Amino acid sequence: MVIWIILLAMTAAAVMVVLWPLSRHSAVRGQADPNVQFYRDQIAEIERDRERGALLPAEAEAAKAEAGRRLLRATGLEDTASAAVGEPALRRRRAVSTLALSVVPILAIAVYGAYGSPHIFDRPVANAPQPQAQTQDLATAVSQIETHLAQHPQDGRGWEVLAPVYIRMGRVDDAVKAYESALRILGDDADRLSNYGEALVLARNGLISSDAQAAFEKAVKLDAGAPKARFYLAQAAEQDGQVEKAKAAYTDLLSISPADAPWVSLVREQLTRLGAPVPPAAAQAPQVGAADIQRMVSGLAERLESQGGSPEEWARLMRSYAVLGQRDKAEAAAQRARQALAQDDAGLKTIEAMARELKLTDAAQ
């Protein structure tokens, strides 16, 4: 919301700048004809030069004659009848005011609407989750591993350790190469193939290429339960337009997954999105400890923080915090949800409803 107020203020200021000179019609300067002034100054300067001795008298005479001729030519050229008053001038001014009031805001908002992303906040690295020093250490560590691998290129474990770090650093192409090396040296393995496939998918911005698909299929062949590979294969089916096959694959994956597996919520989301019936959640396994719950909750929080999410997910996060007895965190989550969902009225209602239900202090009444 704040962002729109700022943008509105900027627009208003811009329009005012145009309207201001239009309102000052009485103060328009009567400029002396600059041409006439120019030649007058020039003649005066020739005179000064002659007195200082910079010009010989004969030269000065010739120059003065020349400037005088031009002065004669310049006088009377200017049509000084300015059209600042009268009915047509008034109409022109109104037209320009209308133009400024309409063109500037409409154009700016249309262009910004097409290209801007008002819902994204600034995320300077200084405020981002990991502090700068850690990034620096990471870079040093990576370059040490790289140096090591340059000398011992047959160290498959090294490549495998490095690859996920590359992905975190945004060097996806390097990650693909690292996984390729790991696969070549250490051989095929369901996890390794799944991760390799995932890197390929990231490198193509989410598109599942035939290379990636082959890697996932190989992984499933090695381990029928490999969740990551099965998940991406379901996605591949969806990308190919085979929605039914995708639904079936997601449902299968859900049926073989433990209820507390971290990917379950993601799979359920996909099913909801495709409009398929979502199997009811299996009863919470009794052995799940508080630490596990805490981890799941913080995982959800992190994801919502970085990628955003639906109002329901935000509400779930608030409830989880409340259940865990961390009311301050629940309130903070509500705040973040309101910011993130500022554009979404229905979503805000959901959040407010949850806030009231949980009796959070700052719930909008």
Partner 1 sequence: MLVEAGHFALALALGLSLIQFVVPLWGARSNDPVLMAVAPAAALAVLACLAFAFLALTVAYVTSDFSVINVVENSHSTKPMIYKISGVWGNHEGSMLLWVLILALFGAVVALSRNTVPVKLQANTLAVQGLVTIAFLLFILMTSNPFTRIMPAPSEGQDLNPLLQDPGLAIHPPLLYIGYVGFSISFAFACAALIDGRIDAVWARIVRPWTLGAWVFLTLGIAMGSYWAYYELGWGGWWFWDPVENASLMPWLAGTALLHSTVVMEKRDALKVWTILLAILTFSLSLLGTFLVRSGVLTSVHSFAVDPERGVFILGILIVFIGGSLALFAWRAPMLKQGGLFAPVSREGALVLNNLLLATACATVFVGTLYPLALEVLTGDKISVGAPFFNFTFLPLVIPLLFLVPIGQTLAWKRGNLLGTVQRLYAVFGIALLVTLALVAFRDGGPVAAPLGIGLGAYLVLGALNEIVTRSWSRGTPLATVWRKAAGLPRSTWGTVIAHAGVGVTVIGIAATAWDAEGLGTLKAGDSMSAGPYQARLERVVPRQEANYREDVALMRIFRNGQELGTVETMKRLYVTRGMPTTEAGIMTVGLSQVYVSIGEVHADGTIGMRIYHKPLVLLIWLGAVVMAAGGGLSLTDRRLRIGAPTRARTAPPASAVPAE
DSSP 130: S
- Smallest distance, partner 1 to C-beta of residue 198, A: 15
d(CA 235, CA 266): 12
CA-closest candidate to residue 260, choices 277, 281, 243: 281
Given the complex with partner 1, which of 218 and 336 has the nearer CB atom? 336
DSSP 257: S
Q: Which two tokens stand for residue 248?
A: 């079936």
Given the complex with partner 1, which of 205 and 210 has the nearer CB atom? 205
Sign of the torsion angle spanned by Cα atoms 353, 358, 359, 361: negative
- Smallest distance, partner 1 to C-beta of residue 166, A: 10
Query: Count of CB atoms within 10 A of residue 234's CB?
Result: 25
- Smallest distance, partner 1 to C-beta of residue 17, A: 4
Inter-residue contact 193 to 216 (CB < 8 Å) = yes
- Smallest distance, partner 1 to C-beta of residue 67, A: 6
Given the complex with partner 1, which of 108 and 276 has the nearer CB atom? 108
Query: How far are the Cα atoms of 34, 67, 144, 165, 170 from residue 40, in angstroms, in the given order?
Result: 10, 8, 76, 75, 68
Given the complex with partner 1, which of 102 and 284 has the nearer CB atom? 102
Given the complex with partner 1, which of 145 and 222 has the nearer CB atom? 145
Given the complex with partner 1, which of 202 and 220 has the nearer CB atom? 202
Given the complex with partner 1, which of 99 and 364 has the nearer CB atom? 99
Q: What residues have CB less than 8 Å from 155, skipping those under 6 apart? A: 148, 149, 185
Given the complex with partner 1, which of 34 and 225 has the nearer CB atom? 34
- Smallest distance, partner 1 to C-beta of residue 332, A: 19
Inter-residue contact 205 to 224 (CB < 8 Å) = no
Query: Count of CB atoms within 10 A of residue 358's CB?
Result: 18
- Smallest distance, partner 1 to C-beta of residue 33, A: 8
d(CA 154, CA 176): 16
d(CA 310, CA 337): 9
- Smallest distance, partner 1 to C-beta of residue 222, A: 31
Query: How far are the Cα atoms of 8, 230, 265, 310 from residue 303, in angstroms, in the given order?
Result: 31, 22, 12, 11
Q: What residues have CB less than 8 Å from 18, skipping those under 6 apart? A: 96, 100, 104
Inter-residue contact 131 to 114 (CB < 8 Å) = no
- Smallest distance, partner 1 to C-beta of residue 80, A: 9
